[in-house]
Every structure is written in C-alpha cells, then in structure tokens.
Amino acid sequence: MIVVDRIEGEVAVLEIEGATVEIPAAALPAGAGEGSVLALTLDAETQGDVTALARERLERLKARGPKKSGTLVL
Amino acid sequence: MNVRFPTLGLPGFLAVLCALLLALPAQAGQLLVDIIDVGQGDAILLRSPEGKSVLIDAGTGRTDMVGELQGRGITQIDLAVSTHPHADHIGDMEAVLRSLPVGVYMDNGVPHTSKNYTDLMVAVEELGVPYMEAEAGQHIQFGDEAAIDVLWPTKTKLRGTRSDLNANSVVLRLTHGDNCFLFVGDAEEETEVRLQVRGIETCSVLKVAHHGSDHSSGDRFLSKVQPSIAVISVGAHNRYNHPGEETLRRMERHGVAVHRTDTQGALRIISDGKTLQVLDGIATVTSSRITPPSSAETQARLAQELAEQANDEGPPDHEDDSYGTPSEGGFVASQKSEVFHNPDCEWAQKISPKNLVEYDTYEDAVVNGKRPAHCCSPSAKDDK
C-alpha cells in the first residue's frame, strides 16, 4: 500500500511499507492529497510502447552513426 | 625554506593553485584519469597527452557535471560513453551533450524506459551527435599514445540476469604504454564470467564495478585481472551499503590498493606510460565555487607539488595557523531522520551521537536522501 504521507510544497512524501519516498507533487494522480491511498500497478502496455519508440530511435541513430567495425580515431 | 603568501593567505593560495592545476592540460606524455566525485554514481574523464578527451558516464542528475568538466579546462568531449542507462550513470549526460560539443556518443544499445534515458536519446538525435553502439572488438585510437578497446557487450546481449542493464554495461580497456585501466560500468558476476571466458588480460587499474556492490568483483575475476589499484566511485553514507564489506575484503585478499571517492573525494590517476600516480581530494572548480582538497594530508602534498611546479623554493609555511585546521561548515543529521541541520542548530545538538551522520556538503546530504530542516534552513554556502 502506498499512502501520501504529506505534501511539502512541490514535493509529495509517499509512504511505502514504512519507508518514505519523495516525488514531485505534480506527479500525483488528479485528486490525490494527504492520506490518499495509491496503487502501484505494472503498465505493460505503456512500457511496450516506450520500448518500441526507443528501439526505433536507436535504429535511426545507428543508421547515421560511424561504422561499428574498424578503428575509431579520436 | 618557508614561503609566505600575505595577500591570499594559505587557503586562498591552495584554492588558486588547485584551480590552475585542474585547468592545466596533461603534461607531455601524461595521461590523466579523473574519477569525478559525483556522490553515488559514476563520471570518469580521460585525457590523452595530446588533450583528447573521453567521458565515461556523467553523474547522477544532481551534479554540476558541465561545471566539473569546464573547471578541468574541458571545452569539448571527443567521445562520451554511457556504460548503461541507469540514472546514476546518465543523470547529467543530456546536460553535457547540450552544453559541450561531443564528437561521438556511445552506449550499450540496450534501451531503457526511463525519462532520463528518453530525454538523453532525444538530445542525441536532435543535436545530430554521431551515435555508436558499443560492441566487443571495437578499437578506439585515443591520441597518439593510448588506445581503448571495447570488451563488452557482445552483439548478442545478456538476458535474464539480475539486471540486464548492468550485465550489458560497456566495458572498456584503456592502454597507455605499460599501464592499463579497466572500466567496467556496473557489470556483475555474469559479465565477469563471460569476460574471463573471452580471455580478459591483467590490468593495473580497475574501476570497481557497481560502486563496490557485492554482486561484482568476484575472486576469480580479480585473480585474472590482478589490479594493483582499484577505484570505487561511491557516495558517502549511501542507502545501498556500497561498497560491500565482502568486496572490500576480496580487494584486501588480492592485495589491491583501494581508493574511494566517498572518503577521498575526486581522484586523479596520472600515467606516464610506465608508472602510475594517484592523487586524492582533487579540488572541484565550478563557475560558482572552489572546494579545497578534502584532507590536510592531501592539501600538504598538493601544496608542495604545486609550489614546486610554480618554481617556488619550497613547501608552504606549515606554521600558518589555518593550516591543517578542520574547516567549519558541513551538515549533520540523525540516521533516523529525513532532515539535515547546520551543526550549530539547537536541534542538531539533540541528536544522539550513535545516530549522528555528518555530510561535508549540502549535495552529499541530499544525494543521501536527506532534505534541509526548516528549523535552521541549511544551504550550500555552508559546505565544508
């Protein structure tokens, strides 16, 4: 269980299993405030999208970068 | 013969000379390896005798990385390497790329989903920095006298490990004459085993993997590499208990001289191709402040070396009242509390000695998870 322990200005202090973690208050879900109980879920769908975009970018960069073989002279 | 500096005073003299030393290019034939003190993270700057520069990792995102580089006289980076995309290694890489010309950007080709990684790669693309995916077998000519070989990862990446990002860390071997430096990122035991299978050679200096975590630096690996010097880039009082006690014991068993940024500050290793010299407490010069060396012993050594370099006639006056006196400042906290205080705060006085934790700088306290207490509002100007 994750509880919003308090909000200190722009910082939200979350309590997770007794330990506290600070995050930007702006990152809290809409409507969350002191005492709110949050859920930690695995978002495989979004993760897949982000990974796919990252891989596409890597391919673009590799296509234009120096050749991987041979000697790179600095 | 004693030398007096009536206008600056000894601390001022030391600060100015340290600034000059940092900004100086390597002397003829000297290769410099700076382990920049970024707290709990990595940032390593290599400079060839000709002035070529390679940056391996770039701090935690809480570091004035650009200031650290500029304070060392760096105006461009020939090769920037992210060993792997964890935030304690790439935290300030985007800032470096956006602030300094970078010749080539290299990483391990394993994407991450974090905002740090995404923002960094967007910058690589936007800025048109040539990108290179590291692959074992690549050879990099680093000026006329030094070379860097990529030892890891291979084309087929490791999968299913405790941390695939760590396991596929870029591993680089820098050679300069008889000297060798092995930079292993956060590579763990699975990677060490594969490097041994591939025939890793001995190497004089080991940048210890993963801030000295017990997941790395196994006995067999150390037996193969046989380093005489190990450097650990690690934050003071970090939450992860790095470096691990077992790792330190293994280093001791293998007779390795260990140097750590948490206790010695920024480190510099100087190679002339035959011998190695390790300096600690290397001052940090940024646009805003100059931090003198961390220990009186280091101050004394640096002062002597610098005074000699400046063609002075001998070491500075050791009888100066301020010399060797612990500087005021710094911060304290209870290990049971989230906040840190000025040492003279009335609430600081109430901290039980067994729980007392000290930090030299505001940044150290913050990096270790503390926030400034409202009662005394500590600020960075009170850094030691």
Residue A64 has pLDDT above 60, yes or no: yes
**According to the model, what pLDDT value does residue B12 have?**
52
**According to the model, what pLDDT value does residue B379 have?**
80
Average pLDDT for residues A42-46, to the nearest whole number?
A: 91
Residue A63 has pLDDT above 70, yes or no: yes
Say if the Cβ atoms of B111 and A60 lie within 8 Å.
Answer: no
Q: Which of A11, A47, A62 comes nearest B133 by C-beta?
A: A62
Say if the Cβ atoms of A58 and B338 lie within 8 Å.
Answer: no
For chains A and B, CB pairs below 8 A equal 71
* Both structure tokens of B108: 């391990």
* Local confidence pLDDT in tens for the 384 residues of chain B: 343 333 445 555 555 554 545 555 456 789 999 999 999 999 999 999 999 999 999 999 988 999 999 999 999 999 999 999 999 999 999 999 999 999 999 999 999 999 999 999 999 999 999 999 999 999 999 999 999 999 999 999 999 998 999 999 999 999 999 999 999 999 999 999 999 999 999 999 999 999 999 989 999 999 999 999 999 999 999 888 999 999 999 999 999 999 999 999 999 999 999 999 999 987 644 333 333 333 444 334 434 443 443 333 333 333 332 222 233 678 888 877 778 888 887 778 777 777 788 888 877 787 777 777 877 878 877 777
Say if the Cβ atoms of B113 and A54 lie within 8 Å.
Answer: yes
Q: What is the 3-state secondary structure (H, E, C) of chain B?
A: CCECCCCCHHHHHHHHHHHHHHHCCCCCCCEEEEECCCCCCCEEEEECCCCCEEEEEECCCCCCHHHHHHHCCCCCEEEEECCCCCHHHHCCHHHHHHHCCEEEEEECCCCCCCHHHHHHHHHHHHHCCCEEECCCCCEEEECCCEEEEEEECCCCCCCCCCCHHHHCCCEEEEEECCEEEEECCCCCHHHHHHHHHCCCCCCCEEECHHHHCCCCCCHHHHHHHCCCEEEECCCCCCCCCCCCHHHHHHHHHCCCEEEEHHHHCCEEEEECCCCEEEECCCCEECCCCEECCCCHHHHHHHHHHHHHHCCCCCCECCCCCCCCCCCCCCEEEECCCCEEECCCCCCHHHCCHHHEEEECCHHHHHHCCCEECCCCCCCHHHCC
CA distance A52 to chain B (A): 9
**According to the model, what pLDDT value does residue B328 have?**
62
**According to the model, what pLDDT value does residue B180 have?**
98
What is the pTM (predicted TM-score) of this model? 0.72
CA distance A34 to chain B (A): 18
In which region does residue B157 sit, left (phi positive, over 0), alpha (psi from -120 to 50) or beta (all else)? beta
CA distance A44 to chain B (A): 11
Instruction: Give the residue from A16, A22, A45, A61 with the most B CB atoms within 10 Å of its CB, the best one to mutate.
Output: A61
CA distance A64 to chain B (A): 7
Residues of B in contact with A27 (CB under 8 A): none
Say if the Cβ atoms of A74 and B111 lie within 8 Å.
Answer: no
Contacts (Cβ under 8 Å, ≥6 apart) of B84: B107, B108, B110, B165, B166, B168, B169, B170, B185, B186
CA distances from B141 to A72, B48, B49, B75 (A): 6, 10, 13, 20
**According to the model, what pLDDT value does residue B283 have?**
63
CA distance A32 to chain B (A): 23
H or E stretch at A6:
strand A2-8
**According to the model, what pLDDT value does residue B320 have?**
31
Q: What phi, psi does B3 have (nearest 5°)?
A: -120, 130
CA-to-CA distance for B276 and B149, rounded, in angstroms? 20
Say if the Cβ atoms of B139 and A71 lie within 8 Å.
Answer: yes
What dihedral do alpha carbons B350, B243, B162, B115 form, nearest 10°?
Answer: 60
Residues of B in contact with A68 (CB under 8 A): 132-133, 135, 138
Q: Which of B109, B139, B338 comes nearest A20 by C-beta?
A: B338
Report which DSSP code applies to A49: H
Q: Does A22 touch chain B (CB under 8 A)?
A: yes
Q: Does A10 touch chain B (CB under 8 A)?
A: no
Q: Which of A47, A50, A72 comes nearest B104 by C-beta?
A: A72
Of all residues in chain B, the one with the smallest CA distance to A44 is B113
Instruction: Give the residue from A45, A72, A73 with the most B CB atoms within 10 Å of its CB, the best one to mutate.
Output: A72
Q: Does A64 touch chain B (CB under 8 A)?
A: yes
**According to the model, what pLDDT value does residue B222 have?**
96
Residues of B in contact with A60 (CB under 8 A): 125
Of all residues in chain A, the one with the smallest CA distance to B373 is A8
In our burial notation (b when 16+ CB lie closer than 10 A, e otherwise), range B328-344 reads: eebbbbbeeeebbbbbe
Instruction: Give the residue from B84, B138, B141 with the most A CB atoms within 10 Å of its CB, the best one to mutate.
Output: B138
Q: Which of A22, A58, A66 comes nearest B111 by C-beta?
A: A58
Say if the Cβ atoms of A57 and B122 lie within 8 Å.
Answer: yes
Say if the Cβ atoms of B133 and A58 lie within 8 Å.
Answer: yes
